[in-house]
C-alpha cells in the first residue's frame, strides 16, 4: 500500500486563489515541483518566502547561525490566544531563559522516571479500544485521548479522567477544529493594534484551556509551597531556577509553557500515532511483526524492555517521515543573505518544510512508500542525517523528542500486541495541515481483539 498524500495545485495560480488554498490547507496549496526542488521562491505584494530543501541551507538556518534566523512572527499570529509567550514562539534572551529551565526536565533520567505513567496511559488506551472490538473506530480521537492521558499523567500525575484534565482535553478538541494552522494576519502586513481575525470559537476555547491550565499550575504551586507536591514534570519545571538569574517561572509563565507542552506533546504525538496505526493497518505483515516483537520484548512496564522494540521504533520513525506532525517551520532572516545564488533581503520568510523534505525525490529512495526497513539500510541512515526533521534541529530542537519517541513506540507496541487494526476500503484518509497533519475527515479503522498466540 502506498500511503495517501494530498494532490498538488497547478504550477501557476493567481495570488488570490493561492491565498485561499494556503489558508484552507498549506499542503495541497503547494506545487508538485517542491518534492524535487532544492529551493523555491514565492512572492506576494507584502513579503517573499523562500522554501529551502537544500540540507546545507537547513543546517545554516537551524544549526550554524540560528540567532540570525529567529522564528517568524507571522506563525505566532495564529497561536497567541492559546500559547501566549511560550517557548514555542519566543526568540532571543526570553527564549534562552525558558530553555534553561525546561531542558533539564527532559533529560534521559526523567524519561525513565516517567515510563510508568506513560505505560499506564497506554494500558488505559488499550482497554478502551478492547471495549470497542468489532467496531469501526475513528482512530485520531483515540490517539488524541491516549496522548492527552500521557501528558497529564507525566506532567501533573493525574489521569485523563480527572475532571480538569478531561475538560482541557475536550476544549482542546474544539480549539483544534476551530483554529487553522495560519491566521490571516500571517499573510498580511497588519499593524500591531489591528485585530487578528481570530474566530469567536478559537478565542473562547483558548481562554477556557488557559483558565483550566492556570487552575492546575496554581494548585501545584500551593502544593510545592506546602512540601506536598508529587515528583513529576510540573514540579521539576516549577522548582528549577535559571542558573544565570536564579529566577523561576511565575504562574502565568508556567501557564504559557503548559499550553505548549499540551500542544507539542499531545497534538503532535496524537497525529503521529494515528498515522502509524493507519500505516500498520494497511500493511498486515508489518503489523504482525510489531506484535511478535512486543510479545518477545516481555513486560512493557519495564523501561529497559523498550530497547527491544527496534522494528516498532522504525515504524514510528517512518510514520513521522511520511506524516510529520509539524509540516512546515518558518524563520525570518535578519541579515542580507545569498541562498543558492539568490539574494535574500532582510525580512524574508525562510520556510523549512519537513513535509516536502521527508518525501523529497533527491534524498529518499521510493519516498512515498511505507518502508520501516529503510532505517536499517545505509541509504536510509544517510537520508535521516540530511533530510529528516520531525522535531526540528539545532538549539531549537524539541526538548521532548526523546519522550515522544518512547511514548509512540510503547503505545504502538502495546496496542498492536493485543489488538488488530484493518483499513476500511471506502474511507481513505486525506492528510491536511491543521494545527498538525491530520486527516481531513478522520482516520477510520476496524478494530478486533487478537487471538492469543499458541
The CATH number of the domain holding residue 77 is 1.10.630.10
The H or E element spanning position 210 is: helix 200-225
163-174: pLDDT as tens digits: 888 888 888 877
How are beta strands 349-352 and 48-52 bridged, if at all?
A: parallel
Measure the CA–CA gap between 126 and 160, rounded to whole angstroms.
14
Q: How confident is the model at residue 107 (pLDDT cuts 50, 70, 90)?
A: confident
The answer on pLDDT for 122 being more than 90 is: yes
The residue that leads in pLDDT, 423 or 75, is 423
- Our count of domains for the chain comes to 1
Q: How far apart are CA 220 and CA 234, in angstroms?
A: 8
Does residue 261 have a pLDDT over 60?
A: yes
Alpha carbons 132 and 129: distance in angstroms, whole number: 5
Torsion of CA 66, 71, 72, 77, to 10 degrees: 180
Which segment of 28-42, 164-178, 306-320, 416-430 scores lowest on mean pLDDT? 164-178
Tell me the residue range of the domain where 239 lies: 15-449
Q: What is the pLDDT of residue 103?
A: 93
Question: pLDDT (tens digit, 9 = 90+) per residue, 322-368?
Answer: 999 999 999 999 999 999 999 999 999 999 999 999 999 999 999 99
CB 414 within 8 A of CB 126: yes
Q: Taking 80 as the threshold, does the pLDDT of residue 420 lie above it?
A: yes
User: What value does the CA radius of gyration of the chain take, rounded to a whole number of Å?
Assistant: 22
Write down the pLDDT at residue 317: 97
Q: Quick check: is 310 in a domain?
A: yes
Give the contacts of 132 (CB within 8 A, at least 6 positions apart). Answer: 447
- Lowest model confidence (mean pLDDT) among 12-16, 160-164, 312-316, 417-421: 12-16
pLDDT of 312 higher than 50: yes
The answer to whether residue 4 is domain-embedded is no
Across the strands, what pairs with 420?
448
pLDDT at 434: 77
The reply to whether 248 falls in a domain is yes
C-alpha 204, offset from chain centre: 23
Does the pLDDT value for residue 191 go beyond 50? Answer: no
Rounded to two decimals, the pTM is 0.92
- Percent of the chain residues topping a pLDDT of 90: 68
Report the pLDDT value the prediction gives residue 177, as an integer from 0 to 100: 66
Task: Kindly state whether residue 135 falls inside one of the protein's structural domains.
Answer: yes
Q: What is the pLDDT of residues 200-238, one digit of tens each?
A: 777 788 888 889 999 999 999 999 999 999 999 999 999
pLDDT for 196 equals 44
Q: Rounded to whole angstroms, how far apart are CA atoms 109 and 233?
A: 12
Q: Which residues contact 211 (CB under 8 A, 6 or more apart)?
A: none
pLDDT at 93: 95
Q: Output the pLDDT for position 195.
A: 42
Count CB neighbours of 59 within 10 A.
14
Can you give the pLDDT at residue 435? Answer: 76
* pLDDT for position 325: 93
Burial class (CB in 10 A: 0-12, 13-18, 19+), 159: middle
Q: What is the DSSP string of 19-48?
A: HHHHHH-TTTTSBGGGGT-SEEEEE-SS-E
136-138 vs 329-332, strand pairing mode: unpaired
| Predicted confidence (pLDDT) per residue in 62-91, tens digit | 999 999 999 987 767 667 778 888 998 899
Q: Is residue 10 part of a domain?
A: no
The mean pLDDT value for 108-121 works out to 90
Mean pLDDT of the chain: 89
Residue 5 lies in a domain: no
- Residue 8 confidence (pLDDT): 79
Answer yes or no: is 102 within a domain.
yes
> Between 342 and 184, whose confidence is greater?
342
Of 378, 451, 424, 346, residue with least CA distance to 139: 424
Answer yes or no: is 62 within a domain: yes
Q: Is the pLDDT of residue 452 over 70?
A: no
Q: What is the average pLDDT across 99-105?
A: 94
At 194, is the pLDDT very low, low, confident or very high (cuts 50, 70, 90)? very low
Amino acid at each position: 500500500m502506498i500511503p495517501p498524500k494530498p494532490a498538488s495545485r497547478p504550477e501557476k495560480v493567481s495570488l488570490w486563489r493561492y491565498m485561499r488554498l494556503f489558508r484552507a490547507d498549506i499542503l495541497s496549496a503547494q506545487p508538485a515541483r517542491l518534492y524535487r526542488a532544492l529551493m523555491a521562491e514565492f512572492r506576494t505584494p507584502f513579503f517573499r518566502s523562500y522554501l529551502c530543501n537544500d540540507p546545507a541551507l537547513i543546517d545554516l538556518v537551524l544549526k550554524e547561525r540560528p540567532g540570525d534566523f529567529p522564528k517568524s512572527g507571522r506563525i505566532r499570529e495564529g497561536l497567541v490566544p492559546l500559547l501566549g509567550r511560550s517557548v514555542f514562539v519566543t526568540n532571543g534572551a526570553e527564549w534562552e531563559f525558558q530553555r534553561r529551565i525546561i531542558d533539564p526536565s527532559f533529560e534521559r533520567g526523567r524519561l525513565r522516571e516517567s515510563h510508568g505513567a506513560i505505560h499506564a496511559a497506554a494500558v488505559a488506551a488499550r482497554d478502551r479500544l478492547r471495549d470497542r472490538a468489532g467496531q469501526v473506530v475513528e482512530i485520531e480521537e483515540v490517539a488524541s485521548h491516549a496522548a492527552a492521558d500521557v501528558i497529564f499523567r507525566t506532567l501533573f500525575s493525574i489521569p485523563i479522567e480527572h475532571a480538569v484534565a478531561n475538560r482541557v482535553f475536550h476544549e482542546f478538541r474544539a480549539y483544534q477544529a476551530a483554529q487553522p494552522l495560519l491566521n490571516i494576519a500571517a499573510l498580511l502586513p497588519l499593524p500591531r493594534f489591528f485585530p487578528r481575525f481570530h474566530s469567536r470559537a478559537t478565542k473562547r476555547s483558548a481562554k477556557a484551556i488557559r483558565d483550566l491550565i492556570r487552575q492546575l499550575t496554581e494548585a501545584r504551586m500551593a502544593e510545592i509551597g506546602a512540601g506536598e507536591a508529587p515528583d513529576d514534570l510540573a514540579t521539576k519545571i516549577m522548582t528549577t531556577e535559571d542558573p544565570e538569574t536564579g529566577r523561576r517561572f511565575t504562574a502565568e509563565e508556567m501557564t504559557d509553557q503548559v499550553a505548549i507542552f499540551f500542544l507539542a506533546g499531545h497534538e503532535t504525538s496524537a497525529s503521529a500515532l494515528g498515522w502509524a496505526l493507519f500505516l500498520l493497518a494497511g500493511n498486515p505483515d508489518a503489523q504482525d511483526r510489531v506484535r511478535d516483537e512486543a510479545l518477545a520484548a516481555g513486560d512493557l512496564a519495564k523501561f529497559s524492555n523498550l530497547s527491544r522494540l527496534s522494528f516498532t521504533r522504525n515504524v514510528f520513525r517512518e510514520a513521522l517521515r511520511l506524516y510529520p506532525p509539524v509540516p512546515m517551520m518558518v524563520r525570518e532572516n535578519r541579515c542580507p543573505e545569498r541562498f543558492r545564488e539568490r539574494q535574500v533581503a532582510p525580512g524574508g520568510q525562510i520556510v523549512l518544510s519537513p513535509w516536502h523534505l521527508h518525501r523529497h525525490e533527491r534524498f529518499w529512495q521510493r519516498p512515498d512508500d511505507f518502508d520501516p526497513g529503510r532505517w536499517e539500510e545505509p541509504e536510509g541512515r544517510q537520508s535521516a542525517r540530511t533530510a529528516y526533521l520531525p522535531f526540528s534541529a539545532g538549539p531549537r530542537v524539541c526538548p521532548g523528542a526523546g519522550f515522544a519517541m518512547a511514548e509512540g513506540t510503547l503505545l504502538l507496541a502495546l496496542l498492536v500486541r493485543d489488538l488488530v487494526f484493518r483499513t476500511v476500503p471506502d474511507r481513505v484518509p486525506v492528510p491536511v495541515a491543521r494545527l498538525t497533519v491530520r486527516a481531513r475527515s478522520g482516520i477510520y479503522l476496524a478494530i478486533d481483539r487478537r487471538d492469543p498466540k499458541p
